């Protein structure tokens, strides 16, 4: 598994399709700008997937703070 250097998404491989659809960049442009995708060991991948699943249970307070920060940064 690899970690996309742009969005941090776990992908089987950093493909041209992912780069084009998500970032409107060819894979080689992504690598040139952001560096090569990081290889994630399978054991670590399972831990990350578990973390993502747990992170999907978002409490209201967890949501409001980044949301407020987002609005604040957007207005400036
Ligand atoms: Zn990406």
9-56 per-position pLDDT tens digit: 888 899 999 999 999 999 999 999 999 998 888 787 788 778 777 776
Environment of ion ligand 1 (residues, CB < 5 A): 4, 6-7, 9, 22
CA 13 vs CA 3, 22, 47, 52, 59: distances in Å: 8, 14, 18, 19, 32
> What's the whole-model pTM score?
0.58
Cα 37 to ligand 1 centre (Å):
9
Output the pLDDT for position 74. Answer: 67
């Amino acid at each position: 598994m690899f970690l996309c250097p742009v969005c941090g998404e776990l992908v089987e491989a950093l493909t041209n399709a992912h780069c084009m659809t998500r970032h409107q960049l060819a894979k080689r442009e992504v690598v040139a700008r952001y560096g090569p995708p990081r290889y994630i060991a399978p054991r670590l991948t399972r831990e990350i997937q578990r973390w993502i699943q747990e992170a999907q249970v978002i409490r209201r307070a967890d949501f409001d703070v980044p949301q407020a920060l987002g609005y604040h940064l957007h207005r400036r």
